[in-house]
Amino acid sequence: MTKIVSHTFFYGGSKMKNKIKHTTSNMAKNLTHEQLIEVANEFGTPVYVYHAERIAAQYKKLQKGFAGCNARFFYACKSLTNVNILKYIHSIGASLDCVSINEVKLGLMAGFAPKDILYTPNCVDFEEIVAVKELGVNINIDNISILEQFGNNFGSSYPVCIRLNPHIMAGGNYKISTGHIDSKFGISIHQMRHIERIVKTTKLNVTGIHMHTGSEIKDINVFLEGLAVMFELASHFPNLEFIDLGSGFKVPYQPGDAETDVNALGEKVAIAFQEFEKETGRKLQVWFEPGKYLVSQCGYFVVKANVIKQTPAAVFVGVNSGFNHLIRPMMYDAYHHIENISNPKGAERIYTIVGNICETDTFAWDRKLNEVREGDYLVFYNAGAYGFEMSSNFNSRLKPAEVMVIDGKAKLIRKKDEFEDLLKNQVI
Ligand SMILES: *Cc1c(COP(=O)(O)O)cnc(C)c1O
């Protein structure tokens, strides 16, 4: 086990790059229970812990899988925006996908060049789009009315990407599927005539078309179907430089779960682009926007068992957290694997894990855990993406600290909230 030493940190980009090269050999290994316990002891619980090298390993997998394509990867930072994570992701060479002007500003702070940032907002007003344009980043427009205003104001002077809705149902979960007919996202491909009218009248310079059909897509044919639609539409845009296929890369949450096969997908995408080039003479880049794929598995959420509570129905473990810190189980019925890291040799018992919030906040029903005693640490896996990021101060509870383990060292990258944070912005 690598020794964990803590110190405050902030690091520069180039030095980091060299380091990463040295540590990539065994980087995909999970953090051990001992490492997580050390972090919990040092920084307290609940605490989010991120394993930097795991992010690099995921990025490497994507690069390898799509080596046959002219591919670029824009990390969808809404999944985890801590600026230290952004800096790290910049240091390994990825670009950035942002959904708000504030994410764009965080990205610029973290060192991303404007040309390496893509802004993909949804239902924001034109003023925000103009403000982001002034920052010089790539802009993705997902609404006819905004497209028209953008064309009227800026014409051909600023390139744009258009987010299209290909009306493909991706994955099984309606809530996290964004390309179907009822979805608010994108401009329908059936509005192509209207898009063309706006582009022609305002001389818009459309350099990209984009689709993002949802999250957790295991079936690579969903991407390929979407890509076929995009190729068809490419003929409408003579200035096209790239096709953005968004994200949807699935990662395993349950033991035995599958991950999107990026090698198989990469191979097929490469062939599709080669064929497109042969037929049309056009050489296009392919862009992707992985969020979960890069940061889900790097993250661990460590909590403490406050109480064991036996009722007529179940044995509850009440932990010192709730949906104020990790809301995916309650919001999406998401499965997070849970282990008792304090008593790994204890006999297995069946527990229902709940939070300490005055609301029904069940993390998991009927899980086998090594016997849980009050005070034990439990870990939630896959906590990197949409974990801390969706946290709140509900019940006037404090948001947890975030810690990054890099090169075997644990570093605090966000202090936990203090009582005063609850009063910030309140007028007293
Ligand atoms: C959320 C989002 C992503 C990332 O999705 P993941 O499932 O986390 O990979 C990518 N692109 C856009 C436009 C998004 O809104």
Q: Tens digit of pLDDT for each residue in 100-154?
A: 999 999 999 999 999 999 999 999 999 999 999 999 999 999 999 999 999 999 9
Domain ranges of the chain: 52-295, 297-418
Q: Is 99 in the pocket of ligand 1 (CB under 6 A)?
A: yes
For the annotated catalytic residues, the residue numbers are 358
Asked whether 289 and 97 are in contact (CB, 8 A), the reply is: yes
Task: Give, using CA atoms, the residue closest to atom 15 of ligand 1.
Answer: 99
The closest alpha carbon to 58, from 384, 286, 414, 327, belongs to 384
How far is the C-alpha of 81 from the C-alpha of 48, rounded, in Å?
A: 13
97 lines ligand 1 (CB under 6 A): yes
Distance 265 CA to ligand 1 centre (A): 18
Q: Over pLDDT 90: what percentage of the chain?
A: 84
CA of 185 to the centre of ligand 1 (A): 12
pLDDT in tens, 225-257: 999 999 999 999 999 999 999 998 999 999 889
Q: Which of the following CATH numbers is that of domain 52-295: 3.20.20.10, 3.40.50.11540, 3.30.1330.40, 1.10.3720.10?
A: 3.20.20.10
Say if ligand 1 is within 6 A of residue 289 CB.
Answer: yes
pTM score of the predicted model = 0.91
Please state the separation of Cα 231 from the chain's center in Å. 26
| Nearest-atom index, ligand 1, CA of 216 | 7
Residue partners of 238: CB distance under 8 A and separation at least 6: none
Q: What's the average model confidence in pLDDT over 290-298?
A: 97
- From the CB of 163, is ligand 1 less than 6 Å away? no
Give the distance, in angstroms, between the CA of residue 18 and the centroid of all CA atoms in the same chain.
25
CA dist 237 and 245 (Å) reads 16
C-alpha 360 to ligand 1 mean position (Å) = 28
Q: CATH number of the domain at 297-418, please? A: 2.40.37.10
Q: What is the mean pLDDT of the chain?
A: 91
Dihedral of CA 423/424/427/428: which sign? positive
Q: What distance in Å separates the CA atoms of residue 107 and residue 111, rounded to the nearest whole number?
A: 7
Strand extents, DSSP E, 241-388: 242-244, 285-288, 299-310, 315-319, 338-340, 348-354, 362-370, 377-380
Q: Which of 247, 294, 298 most suits a substitution to test ligand 1, by most atoms within 8 Å of the C-beta?
A: 247
Pick the atom of ligand 1 nearest to 79's CA: 8
* Pocket probe mutation, ligand 1, options 97, 216, 298, max atoms within 8 Å of Cβ: 97
Q: What is the pLDDT of residue 166?
A: 87
Helix (H) or strand (E) segment spanning residue 402? strand 401-406
Burial grade of 25 (CB within 10 A; 0-12, 13-18, 19 or more): exposed
Any ligand 1 atom below 6 A from CB of 290: yes
Asked if pLDDT for residue 305 goes beyond 80, the answer is yes
**Quick one: pLDDT at residue 404?**
98
Look at residue 20 and tell me whether its pLDDT is greater than 60.
no
Percent with pLDDT over 70 in the chain:
90
Question: In the beta sheet, which residues pair with residue 302?
Answer: 47, 379
Q: What is the pLDDT of residue 274?
A: 97
293 C-beta closer than 6 A to ligand 1: yes
385 lines ligand 1 (CB under 6 A): yes
Residue 62 DSSP class: H
Task: Give the per-residue pLDDT at 12.
Answer: 32
